[in-house]
Amino acid sequence: MAGRRMRPASFSRTLTIMMHKFRTTLAGYGFIFPAIVLVAIFLLYPIGFVIYISFHKWGILGTPVFVGLKNYVTIFSDDRFWQAVLNTGYYMVLAVPTQIGLGLLLAILVNRKGTAGRGFFRTIYFIPLSISFVAAGIIFQWILTTTPIEGFLSHLFGQLGLPFPQWETTDSNWAMVAIALMNTWKSAGYAMVIYLAGLQGINRDYYEAAAIDGARSEWQVFRYITWPLLAPTTVLLVISTVIFTVRGFEPIFVMTQGGPAGATTTLVYYLYEKFPNTMGVSSAAATFLLVAILVLTLVQFLASRRAESYY
Amino acid sequence: MVRKRNYGTMFLLIVLAVLFLFPLVYMLGGSLKTNQEADSKPETIFPEQPQWRNYIDIFDAPNFNILLQTRNSLIVTFTVTAGQIFVAALAGYAFARIRFIWRDTIFIIFLATLILPFELIFVPLYLMLAKWGWINSFLALIVPVIANPFAIFMFRQFFITVPIELEEAMRMDGAGYMRIFLSLMLPLSGPPFLTIFILTWLAEWSALLRPMIFARTPDMWTLQVGLNFLNRGAQVTTPTTAYLMAGIALASIPPVVIFLIMQRRFVEGIAQTGIKG
């Protein structure tokens, strides 16, 4: 009796639930429809396509020809490719610590109590972030140039009797320093803002406890309280800054076009140079970089989990 | 003791501020020199005789196409920004509040594409757009970047915080998802709207690689592409360095003004998410 009454009831309930689920799913896909179509076409499909191209000889004219791993052999036996790998590392080493370090210094200074005009200073340090790399690159080029005529800083060094590297010609190792300098000016405000948020998230009790425990110098407080508590912020910043630096194309394109003698040709610039005549080679380099970014992100993610569990 | 330390801080703040402002002052100084002076005396900051006319003359200087390229930049930046907000608000609401099948999987795939830089996929994109005949059109400059997973993420995070009771009350009255979205969620979504507006608008205004590759002729160039072309030694017989400085100064006004007006939103947007616009 009870069974007979239960069955149709539960059936219709299942049906209602299914109908409901169907309708919400329909509604959900309706809402994400534009996003899913665009992401699939312009973000996901190109990943597969770039890998596909990397197995072909693909020029701007003519039909693509399947060549297997030949493009990978080409890049791995190309000295300029390995130079580009090294240059990317060099740029990272120059740009990431300076940007994060200066950002931390700015954040600590701006965050100090009892100084006038903190919002004003924060704004000033932050303004370069809203200026384009084209503008920043052109300005720094003219400040730092040595050939054919001395720019502001090179002239100033000369007046003081100091040597200034010929970064556009013979002292090619300094070309990346010039780019990193421009990048630091433009991007330190970003690290500052992230650190400011981190600093404001630190419970003031820690500082009081440190004072009671006899922390004397400001350096001690920073070393044993602030810096460890900022670890998650630092990890986040390192991840985003490393990725931003690795993909940096515009600073190099505007200031040096990869030169002198390939000294500032990073991986991204290398694959731009191979476009559009040897797109297969360019895509092999892009695939290599894609794998590198995946590995880098994974390593940093794991490291950040360890760092968080540690502090 | 405390006072002394604050003087030190103040001193450092001022020195750093001077260093940070210097390149901008140098740019403005250079923009007021004559072209010859800017080219032959880059070591000076200020002009011998300020040439205010540069800012007028630049509009019909040869090879400068400021008005047309500014128009192109405005079309691209505002369409991309509006498109991103439209697409992201819809998707963000669904990811936050509608329990559809495979929702979380799709969301994770969207998020994973955040680490994918445009620099890695411009070759396949170029080939796709070329095949469709989109190269050198606004379609190529706009459509590929309308879907921004980061914007979707921002809207989702915001919609999650809207009290569920409000939505349930409307549902009791028989409202469907679309009506809830339009008359409840959308009017509330000022914060993510402004954050995405400023981050996307600034990024698009400064963008160089995409417009440079997808727009082939000067009449389709954006302002940044045009100015960069002049910098890279456009074949001109007379120097245009001061004009170029005036050009980048003019091109910097809109982003700096927008930034100053919406600074708080910008800072919060960046600090909340840690992702650069």
Question: Does A86 reach chain B within 8 Å, measured CB to CB?
Answer: no
| pLDDT digit string (tens) for chain B, length 277 residues | 444 557 888 899 999 999 999 999 999 999 999 988 988 889 999 999 999 999 999 998 888 889 999 999 999 999 999 999 999 999 999 999 999 999 999 999 999 998 888 999 999 999 999 999 999 999 999 999 999 999 999 999 999 999 999 899 998 998 899 999 999 999 999 889 998 999 899 999 999 999 999 999 999 999 999 999 888 665 556 678 999 999 999 999 999 999 899 888 877 777 766 544 3
Which among B103, B119, B275 is the nearest to A268, CB-wise? B119
Contact A134 B42 (CB under 8 A): no
Give the per-residue pLDDT at B2. Answer: 46
Q: What is the pLDDT of residue B1?
A: 41
> To 10 degrees, what angle do helices A2-39 and B103-112 make?
20
Tens-digit pLDDT profile for chain A (311 aa)? 444 555 556 788 888 888 888 888 999 999 999 999 999 999 999 999 999 999 999 988 778 999 999 999 999 999 999 999 999 999 999 999 999 999 999 999 998 877 778 889 999 999 999 999 999 999 999 999 998 789 999 999 999 999 999 999 899 999 999 999 999 999 999 999 999 988 988 888 888 888 888 877 888 888 888 999 998 889 888 888 988 898 889 999 999 999 899 999 999 999 999 998 899 999 999 999 999 988 988 887 787 777 665 54
Interchain contact, B91 vs A31, CB within 8 Å: yes
**Which residues in chain A touch residue B270, judged by CB atoms under 8 angstroms apart?**
190, 193-194
How far apart are the CA of B144 and the nearest CA of chain A, in angstroms?
A: 6
The one-letter code for the residue type at B236 is V
Residues 184-203 of chain B with CB under 8 A from chain A are 202
Is there a contact between B32 and B49 (Cβ–Cβ < 8 Å)? Answer: no
Q: Does A244 touch chain B (CB under 8 A)?
A: yes
Give the Å distances, CA to CA, from B83 to A38, B87, B142.
Answer: 11, 6, 9
Query: Look-up: residue for tokens 């002198």?
Result: A260
Q: Give B146's DSSP letter.
A: S
Q: What distance in Å separates the CA atoms of residue A290 and residue A267, rounded to the nearest whole number?
A: 11
| Structure-block tokens of residue B96 | 């936050």
Nearest CA in chain A to B15: A121
- Asked whether the CA dihedral A93, A75, A175, B13 is positive or negative, the reply is negative
DSSP summary character for residue A60? S
Cβ distance B94 to A42 less than 8 Å, yes or no, reads: no
pLDDT at res. B234:
54
Helix H segments across B161-240? 164-172, 177-180, 186-188, 190-206, 209-214, 223-231
For B113, name the nearest residue in chain A, comparing CA atoms only: A43
pLDDT tens figures, B131-160: 999 999 999 999 999 999 999 999 999 999
Q: Nearest Cβ partner of A115 from B6, B23, B124?
A: B6
* A53: chain B residues, CB-CB within 8 Å: 123-124, 127
What is the rounded distance in angstroms from the CA atom of residue A270 to the CA atom of residue A91? 14
**By CB neighbour count within 10 A (0-12 exposed, 13-18 middle, 19+ buried), where does B243 fall?**
buried
Contact: B228, A134; criterion CB under 8 Å: yes
Q: How far apart are CA A104 and CA A83, in angstroms?
A: 32
Packing angle of the helix pair B263-273, B149-160 (nearest 10 deg): 90
Opening angle at CA A53, ends A51 and A58, nearest 5: 160
Question: Radius of gyration over alpha carbons of chain A, in Å?
Answer: 27
Distance between CA B270 and CA B276 in Å, rounded?
6
Comparing alpha-carbon positions, the chain B residue that sits nearest to A47 is B121
Contact A28 B270 (CB under 8 A): no
- Residue A206 at interface with chain B, using a CB cutoff of 8 Å: no
Any B CB within 8 A of A29 CB? yes
Tokens of B254: 């809109």
A245 close to A92: Cβ distance less than 8 angstroms: yes
- Say yes or no for a CB contact (<8 Å) between B123 and A286: yes
For an interface test with A, the pick among B119, B179, B232, B260 (most A C-beta atoms closer than 10 Å) comes out as B119
| Interatomic CA distance for residues A24 and B94, integer angstroms | 10
Cβ distance B206 to A131 less than 8 Å, yes or no, reads: yes
Give B116's contacts in chain A (Cβ within 8 Å). Answer: 43, 47, 290, 293
- Chains A, B: CB contacts within 8 A come to 273
Cα separations (Å) of A82 from A140, A279, B162?
28, 18, 51
Q: Supply the pLDDT for residue A124.
A: 94
Residues 157-176 of A with CB under 8 A from B: none
Residue A148, preceding bond cis, omega within 30 degrees? yes
Q: Which residues of A touch B252 (CB under 8 A)?
A: 130-132, 135
In DSSP terms, A65 is beta-bridged to A57
Who among B86, B113, B244 is closest to A44 (CB)? Answer: B113
Q: Under an 8 A CB cutoff, do B98 and A142 touch?
A: no
Question: What secondary structure does DSSP assign to A62-101, as a single string?
Answer: S--EE-TTHHHHHHHT-HHHHHHHHHHHHHHHHHHHHHHH
Q: Does B149 touch chain A (CB under 8 A)?
A: yes
The span from the CA of A168 to the CA of A175, in Å, is: 6
pLDDT, tens only, B55-80: 999 998 888 889 999 999 999 999 99
Distance CA B1, CA B22 (A): 32
Mutate to test the interface with A, among B33, B100, B177 (most CBs of A within 10 A): B100
